[in-house]
Amino acid sequence: MDLIQFFGRFHVLVLHLPIGILLMAAVLELNCLFFKKQRSNTLNTIWLWGLLSAAAAAVLGYMLSLSGGYSDEAVWIHKMFAFAVIACALICWILFSNFSQKNLPATLVTALCTCQLFLLFSTGHYGANMTHGSTYLFDYAPNPIRSLAGLEPHAKPRAAISKLEDADVYLDVVQPILQKRCVACHNSDKSKGKLDLSHYDLVLKGGQSGNTIVSGDAQASELFVRISLDSHDKKFMPAGGKPPLSETQIASIAWWIKQGAPASGLLSEFNLADKDKQVLARTLGLQKGKDAWPLDDISPLPQAIATELTQAGFIVKQISHDVQYIDLDYSVARRALSEQAMQALLKAKDYVVWLNLANSQVSDVQVAQLSQLTNLIKLRLEKNPISSNALTGLSQLPHLSYLNLYQTQVDDGALAILSQFKSLKQLYLAESNVSATALQNWLETQAKQHINVIAALPSNSPANLPFNLPFKERESL
């Protein structure tokens, strides 16, 4: 059975061949007919290849359907249209290969080619319905178009939740998670494991396992078990490489099941522990998750400043499509940080969160100016002739969590200054003038204060530590 499913999954690759080939064949036939152009015998070969690829796609599609999880009615409709495509392609190939277009009635040629196009589009449409659901094409259509298609108008959007207590336990917490991560494979048209998660009643009904939701017991509920498995497990859901649920979403589903999987009810009606409040607030977007971007949204960097930074020698990168802050790299310029570059950098001070000034002959005075970059999170100063005094201004940066001082001139005096850093998480001091003894004593002091510091030193460093660091994480250069 596994081998059949292996070949069956190639259906999604092969199915594009008959669509393209037969579409081209039909259009070219009509073009020759209507515009009185000379018909090439190559068209006969195109029809043949379209026929063969359609047959191959049908065989692989049948293998894929054996894996289950699809509506029997939807499979039957898709299969009938696929057979019709093959039959029409066969008739066209036989007729057009054995009779000149001039010897065939124009109405017959037009009818066959039009029929082929209609069947191709219909087969593709019903195949898409099986994969994405029967309403896929109209999910975002305006209400008038949805009405013409026989669908209900869009439901009125729920009001944005601004307070945790005002959220509905299912409509605002659970249902959005299922819609975003699960319903694509568990709906009325494509019910993998005979499980439909598109409506509350169907969620409770469950699927083949029969214990999708066990009220009050998350560990016995198949839904929770599947989403919390290791991603490499065959039973892990969502399957097929789709984005998994976040830890916060999994915790929210577990909490909901433990509460009895209620269909409704405001969160104010539940006795929420502080931990539960944090999880639900993150799920509702009222509180940033532990892996969320730590800074508030900001407008895009003005193009004029971006151009000035580039001209000064910086490589400018936006952090991500959704995060407008920037990552600047001057190390690739392979020259000393100029006054022009510093002035351009300061103009972008509110946007810079990652900054690489490695091996740029940065001075203590220039490092002091970096204290104006109040949103700075990551700073690389390795291989620069800076002293401990340069760090004083940086201690005021509220978000600075990464600092690389590898091969700098900082000494034991830097440790007292580093103690003032509020958010420091990763610190690199290899091949600096900091002594191993002073660093060991300082790290032990910070550990007692529960400050998570990573000091990763190469084995050949003169300041290599003769002990294991007592912290949660450790990285090497």
pLDDT at 467 over 60: no
**Alpha-carbon separation of residue 303 from 86, 199, 330 (angstroms):** 55, 47, 18
> For residue 22, what pLDDT is reported?
95
Residues 6+ apart with CB under 8 A from 174: 252, 253, 256
Q: Would you say 203 and 197 are in contact if contact means Cβ atoms under 8 Å apart?
A: yes
Q: Would you say 284 and 249 are in contact if contact means Cβ atoms under 8 Å apart?
A: no
pLDDT digits (tens, 9 = 90+) for 129-140: 777 766 667 777
Which of 231, 198, 226 is CA-nearest to residue 212? Answer: 226
Can the peptide bond before residue 238 be classed as cis, meaning omega within 30 degrees of 0?
A: yes
Query: Tokens in use for 73?
Result: 């009615």
pLDDT at 1 over 70: no
pLDDT digits (tens, 9 = 90+) for 321-378: 878 999 999 998 889 999 999 999 999 999 999 999 999 999 999 999 999 999 999 9
Query: Tokens in use for 60?
Result: 């692989």
pLDDT at 450 over 90: no
> For residue 45, what pLDDT is reported?
95
Mean pLDDT of the 111-126 span: 93
pLDDT at 244 over 90: no
Distance CA 374, CA 394 (A): 9
pLDDT at 160 over 60: yes
pLDDT digits (tens, 9 = 90+) for 289-316: 666 677 888 899 999 999 999 999 999 9
Beta bridge partners of 427: 403, 455
pLDDT digits (tens, 9 = 90+) for 272-282: 888 888 889 88
What is the residue-averaged pLDDT of the chain? 84
> For residue 190, what pLDDT is reported?
67
Beta-carbon-side half-sphere exposure of residue 247 (alpha carbons within 13 Å): 6
> For residue 233, what pLDDT is reported?
78
Q: Could you give the angle at which helices 72-98 and 16-34 cross, rounded to 10 degrees?
A: 40
Residues 6+ apart with CB under 8 A from 408: 381, 382, 383, 384, 385, 386, 432
pLDDT at 24 over 90: yes
Distance CA 214, CA 375 (A): 47
- Assign 184 a pLDDT band (cuts: 50, 70, 90): confident
pLDDT at 452 over 60: no
Distance CA 328, CA 305 (A): 12
Give, in degrees to the nearest 5, the angle at Cα 412 between 462 and 328.
85
pLDDT digits (tens, 9 = 90+) for 42-86: 999 999 999 999 999 999 999 988 877 677 788 899 999 999 999
Read off φ and ψ for residue 52, nearest 5 degrees: -65, -40
> For residue 297, what pLDDT is reported?
83
- The residue with tokens 């065989």 is 59
> For residue 362, what pLDDT is reported?
94
Mean pLDDT of the 435-446 span: 82
> For residue 312, what pLDDT is reported?
93
> For residue 335, what pLDDT is reported?
92
- Assign 436 a pLDDT band (cuts: 50, 70, 90): confident
Single-letter amino acid code for the residue at 358: A
Percent over 90 (pLDDT), the chain: 44
Which of 452, 472, 461, 453 is CA-nearest to residue 434? Answer: 461
**Alpha-carbon separation of residue 425 from 259, 331, 370 (angstroms):** 37, 23, 19
pTM above 0.95, yes or no: no
Total number of residues shown for the chain: 477
Mean pLDDT of the 242-258 span: 89
Give, in degrees to the nearest 5, the angle at Cα 409 between 408 and 410.
95
pLDDT digits (tens, 9 = 90+) for 358-374: 999 999 999 999 999 99
pLDDT at 461 over 50: no
3-state secondary structure labels for all residues of the chain: CHHHHHHHCCHHHHCHHHHHHHHHHHHHHHHHHHCCCCCCCHHHHHHHHHHHHHHHHHHHHHHHHCCCCCCHHHHHHHHHHHHHHHHHHHHHHHHHHHCCHHHCCHHHHHHHHHHHHHHHHHHHHHHHHHHHCCCHHHCCCCHHHHHHCCCCCCCCCCCCCCCHHHCEHHHHHHHHHHHHHCCCCECCCCEHHHCCCCCHHHHHHCCCCCCCCCCCCCCCCHHHHHHCCCCCCCCCCCCCCCCCCCHHHHHHHHHHHHCCCCCCCEHHHCCCCHHHHHHHHHHCCCCCCCCCCCCCCCCCCCHHHHHHHHHHCCEEEECCCCCCCEEEECHHHCCCCCHHHHHHHHHCCCCEEEEECCCCCCCHHHHHHHHHCCCCCEEECCCCCCCHHHHCHHHHCCCCCEEECCCCCCECHHHHHHCCCCCCCEEECCCCECCHHHHHHHHHHHHHCCCCCEECCCCCCCCCCCCCCCCCCCCCC
> For residue 444, what pLDDT is reported?
78
Q: Would you say 45 and 96 are in contact if contact means Cβ atoms under 8 Å apart?
A: no
